[in-house]
Chains A and B, each alone.
Chain A
Amino acid sequence: MISFDHVSEGPMRDLSFDLVAGTRAKAIYDSDERRNVFFAVITGLRRPAKGSVKWDGKDIYALEESGRLTLFQRIGIVPADGGLISNLKAWENVMLPAWYHRGIAPLQAERKVIDLFRQLGLTEAGLQRQMGRLPDQLTMYEKRAVALVRAMLMEPDILLYDSLFTGLDRESSNQFLSVTGEYHEKKAGRISLYLCADDAVSARLTTDQTITLAH
């Protein structure tokens, strides 16, 4: 469960919501500033002036660094810019958390990774070209696709998507919509939270709960 209890920070005022197990929710923002603050607060990168943020009943800001790192192993985060490590190739970025935490060697996960990318419309030939590239050589769609597959490999209980559809064409957005929707259903009790701009794509996104960040 994710719980925001009267959180105030920057342009965000007295925000409260609870996301229980199995919820698919969207948080609609009207400005980049609100989006950045919300993302930083919910991921423990920026302590709010007021209120508490809890993941599974634990106040994220009361946890030690080691506690937060353990928590984040169960959370899949897809940042707007992909959140990739610049000195690692795309393939190395995909495999990093699964290899680091679960000891899943790159060769072991190859088939699964190819299948996941195929669902996102990337062919094996295209993959061969892209996986050897550094993040700065990838398009925004490719970066987010790498970040998404990286998160999905960990089989997280909670997924947070930051502006997943922003700046993409309709076909790419629909692919992400479809894949993330199916992925949400695959594990009972999974929470999926989309941080979206107030646009046509977020309007098409069907969720159990809508959080409005605009005040």
Chain B
Amino acid sequence: MSLATIIPGRIGRVVLNVADYWQGFSELLFYVLRRLRALGRPPVRLVLQKQIYFTGIEALGAVTAIAMLSGIVITTQVTSLVGQNIALTAKIMLWTVVRELGPLLSAIVIIARSSSATASELANMKIRGEIDNLRLLGISPGDYLVVPRVAGITLSVVAVTFYFQMTAIVTGYAFASLTGNLPFVTSLSGILSTLSMTEVTVSLFKALVFGLVISITSCYYGLRASGSITAVPRAATGAVMRNLITVFLLNGIISYVFFI
């Protein structure tokens, strides 16, 4: 086969895969939005609670560490650049932590932990025939497996994002205050006076979108697994890579639409 056939063939496969993904993503998204009332059933709520615990609560250690380190690095860099300029420091902290790094880094932590776990768990269930077993019990796999996972991961991403932003800002300013660069309380007041509802709303909107993307993509890759057990790690890596690309792409689009 010559390059003239290989390259278009590969491009075509990529295009088809992306189209297939977005079609599957849309179907799952609309399914979840239509079937949110499934959360009213106690067993489904239990899955939701377990998901929130695993995705949100158990991630707090890693998120706290990353948020603290990010806050320290950013304030150190900013104060070394602009000196004791509280107003400018507050703006830069808002632009970096609230608008961009908070949602993005939180999403990356969740992708690393929950995306691969969810995709591989569902892929495993699919290959072992457990999805069919649920149907034979009269239980909709979409209602029992997908809806609580999407709701749980999305809520967790939003909460973790907010927590990341608060931790990064407070820790960054605390460190700057300890090293004598900035007064702590005045700096925090500065950021609160600069912070607008638009900043908060857009950052939480980003977190909501990222949460939906991460959860639905993970479920999509998990549920389409078939064949042998080797499909499980393929589902996990496929979900993680797709999530990373999509989250970065959407981050750029949302920032451009709202802030430029």
A contacts, CB < 8 Å to B: 43, 45, 65-66, 68-73, 75, 77, 79, 83-87, 96-97, 99-101, 103, 105, 150
Contact = CB atoms under 8 A, between A and B. Distances in A.
A66 B143 CA distance: 11
B130 interface: yes
Given A87-B121, A100-B43, A105-B42, A69 B138 contact: yes
B41 interface: yes
Interface of B: 41-44, 121, 124-125, 128-130, 132-140, 144
A69 B139 contact: yes
B42 A65 contact: no
Given A100-B41, A100-B43, A103-B42, A83 B135 contact: no
Contact of A85 (B41, B130, B135, B140): B130
| CB-CB nearest 9 A-B residue pairs | A73-B138, A72-B138, A83-B133, A97-B137, A100-B43, A69-B138, A77-B136, A99-B43, A85-B130
Contacts, number: 59
B42 A43 contact: no
23 contacts: A68-B135, A72-B138, A73-B138, A75-B136, A75-B138, A77-B136, A79-B133, A79-B136, A83-B129, A83-B130, A83-B133, A84-B133, A85-B130, A85-B133, A85-B134, A86-B124, A86-B130, A96-B137, A99-B42, A100-B41, A100-B44, A101-B138, A103-B42
Contacts of A65: 135, 140
A189 B144 CA distance: 31
A150 B44 CA distance: 18
B136 to A, nearest CB: 5
A99 B135 CA distance: 15
Contacts of B132: 45
B125 A69 contact: no
Interface centre among A43, A69, A72, A87 (most CB of B within 10 A): A69
